Structure 1
């Protein structure tokens, strides 16, 4: 059956096996569609954006949001200092704003406990976020020293962080981050397996700065999830970062991008998206195949 709305086919994009992980700094999917080294693949990024765009339009749920701290100031952690916050187990979206001042020791760690049949503390799972040597080549790391067959072992994984001198707005869909880690041990792991791991707490290690008002959880973030997609395509179009070689997959991405930019403009009224789409259409003003071939890369 053909979907009434063409973008309805882009559902649950984040859990697809060819998406290695979501980038912690912006929530964008990193693909292994055409390369074993994870990279930003425009087609999948746009499909990911369509997925949450449709959820935001169609799902009728009451938004629940809770803060993890009742303080309003800036928390500065020096090297070796740590701060812990308890996490609400029933809210899967975690948001906070932090500035990693040094990659030498700075990190944050998410702690989970497995729930099987209503019982907790069968296994613990840690997700550590920090810089790793050659980390961008793996996106998410398996730090376990066993083969995954021992079900009693605690689990330890790590996500790679880029060095950034500014505050970063983190938006973490916790079950998805757990799922992508579990896939390293068993490629057949499902979202249901990930949901068995209940978030307990998050620990920040300095040197870093943390906006205490920003630490909060939600039951969903359909409105926020497409924003990085809107930004990356507007930014990359403006800076002429045209990163797909000409071909059918590039044409597909071009069509997806124009559709997404149009929807972003309609939803926000922000003319930057309209202008970005208009500039992207300049490609089709080229005359003849010779000039088209000279345009080596586009969306």
Structure 2
């Protein structure tokens, strides 16, 4: 009996041990489950709390003025929640925040602010306001000025009164010749050479005209300094130094210069562009050097020695090579072209621009040339009127105006030799631009006002013709919509005249800034010419103004402006104007308000300026 009881007690103990073990396992499982759920709930609550109380520095604020974390930051936190049982390796480029920027635990108002969802900085919350450390904020600003902007556009208003002989809009701020889409300012023509659509280089009438207009405006706003004459019909006060081996000579002679007999300098030296020759020492920090030259030997030319930031000594060579620009180490060669051999040429050089373009040393106009040292002559030829100054604005305007006169075709236009072919539009070589016509006319009118030479005004008057010609080829629609094909005039809905910057066929783009620039050219001719050209310019102006007033509202998005109307014509997505084009629209519409006075322009001008500061139109 005792044995039976002992076995029962042993079985009861085993049973209890088994029950205890099962209960322990269940308790452990239940505890793990409860703890995991609590952690999950805690993490979800943490995400909610962070979304309400933390700030993101990488996006616009919510409607109540409190900024919310960026999507990337929220996604990363959700990833933590959904992978609570996994351990992810740290990102290779993740950098933990410095402990010093986090709030002190003892600070009751301390809070963390998320920067791009990458790291946190310590901030303070006082009521509804959040304050960030100045040591962090100042890194985003220059010179200690805390300037916040809704856009990167800045409005620089034109002069209060517009005159055809005055500064063109705010072009005094333009530095055309250092643009990245330009190869150089050529020695053969004295105007910029474009490479945007053809790396071999071509002359873009819009760029040529803007080059002249910008220099003319700078001359009016900033002044035209009196140049220092180095040598003109004499050996100059400092004189020319000859090679010690007697291999060069220079003397005063009489020569025909543009039909006038005058005293100039004749020189004779070896043709090697790296050899010695008659040399004029300048040592000037003024970098606009101008000289007239005529070569009578096929080799040789002129070398300008300068001191730059990149090279202690660099050389600019001007020869009659058929090249626009060639660079070899510290030597830059600019070709005056064989076609100009034996002719008088006027070289107007901003030496700093030549250095910037030759050595590709700056995307913007960051001064690279420290000093012009000397000029050396090679080969045989004549030189005259060598000067140096801080700037040569009027001479550059005349280079642009002379190019426009010499390259105007029988239709009065300036065709672009390069085709335009991108995903947005296509135009074959030889296309005209209303913007090119208008800005060309504006440059020519200013050259006429500066010199009184009627050839410039007559060239501007000839440019009116393409405004009267439809851009639609007759063969496409079998209709004669203009006097002939190939002009710059389009018709919006078949009723309103529009002067096209890009006269694409069969559909139009109706680019706003190009149209208004073309209108400015019409205005300049209308206010300067007389007789039939004046009446034609006025007729074209009136027709264009009617279209602009009717269509202006179509370019207003309520938050910015549109570049063109292809979304109306071709049912493409709206082509919003980026901020620098929006600023151009503001300047142009301001000019229209000044010359026309219609309240529609003043109201649009004020509204469009507001868009730059985050002001939006009302919504329903």
* TM-score normalised according to structure 2 size: 0.40
- 1:208 maps onto 2:377 in alignment: no
Give the match for residue 33 of structure 1.
196
Contact 1:97 1:167 in 2 (8 A): yes
Contact 2:471 2:486 in 1 (8 A): no
Given candidates 417, 432, 439, the residue that maps to 1:256 is 439
Structure 1 position 238, deviation (Å):
6.1
Contact 1:18 1:33 in 2 (8 A): yes
Contact 2:300 2:319 in 1 (8 A): yes
Give the match for residue 336 of structure 2.
161
Give the match for residue 172 of structure 1.
349
Give the match for residue 59 of structure 1.
222
In 2, the alpha carbon distance for the partners of 1:229 and 1:206 equals 29
Contact 1:99 1:208 in 2 (8 A): yes
Structure 1 position 272, deviation (Å):
2.3
In 2, the alpha carbon distance for the partners of 1:224 and 1:43 equals 18
CA gap 1:97/1:260 in 2 versus in 1, 3 angstroms: closer
Contact 1:244 1:297 in 2 (8 A): no
Point out the structure with the larger strand share: 1
CA gap 1:297/1:35 in 2 versus in 1, 3 angstroms: farther
In 2, the alpha carbon distance for the partners of 1:63 and 1:34 equals 38
In 1, the alpha carbon distance for the partners of 2:293 and 2:443 equals 29
Point out the structure with the larger helix share: 2
Structure 1 position 62, deviation (Å):
4.5
Give the match for residue 369 of structure 2.
195
Structure 1 position 90, deviation (Å):
2.0
- 1:7 maps onto 2:162 in alignment: no
Question: Residue deviations 1:35-71, cap 9 Å, x none?
Answer: 1112211111111111101011111464242314426
- 1:93 maps onto 2:277 in alignment: no
- 1:143 maps onto 2:328 in alignment: yes
* TM-score normalised according to structure 1 size: 0.78
In 2, the alpha carbon distance for the partners of 1:4 and 1:66 equals 36
Contact 2:267 2:278 in 1 (8 A): no
- 1:106 maps onto 2:300 in alignment: yes
SS in 2 for 1:40: coil
CA gap 1:293/1:31 in 2 versus in 1, 3 angstroms: farther
SS in 2 for 1:224: helix
In 1, the alpha carbon distance for the partners of 2:446 and 2:202 equals 25
Give unpaired runs (5+ residues) of structure 2: 1-153, 159-167, 237-251, 253-262, 418-426, 475-479, 489-500, 502-620
- 1:182 maps onto 2:345 in alignment: no
Given candidates 116, 120, 128, the residue that maps to 2:317 is 128
Contact 1:98 1:209 in 2 (8 A): yes
Contact 2:469 2:486 in 1 (8 A): no
SS in 2 for 1:82: coil
SS in 1 for 2:294: strand
The structure whose RCO (Cα within 8 Å, separation 6+) is larger is 1
- 1:76 maps onto 2:264 in alignment: no
CA gap 1:2/1:293 in 2 versus in 1, 3 angstroms: farther
Contact 1:264 1:273 in 2 (8 A): yes
Question: Residue deviations 1:270-295, cap 9 Å, x none?
Answer: 33232222222122334683265954
Contact 2:414 2:436 in 1 (8 A): no
Question: Residue deviations 1:94-142, cap 9 Å, x none?
Answer: 1112112233x312211123469xxxxx72211222244xx43xx2212
Give the match for residue 228 of structure 1.
399
In 2, the alpha carbon distance for the partners of 1:278 and 1:88 equals 45
Contact 1:24 1:161 in 2 (8 A): yes
Give unpaired runs (5+ residues) of structure 1: 117-121, 145-154
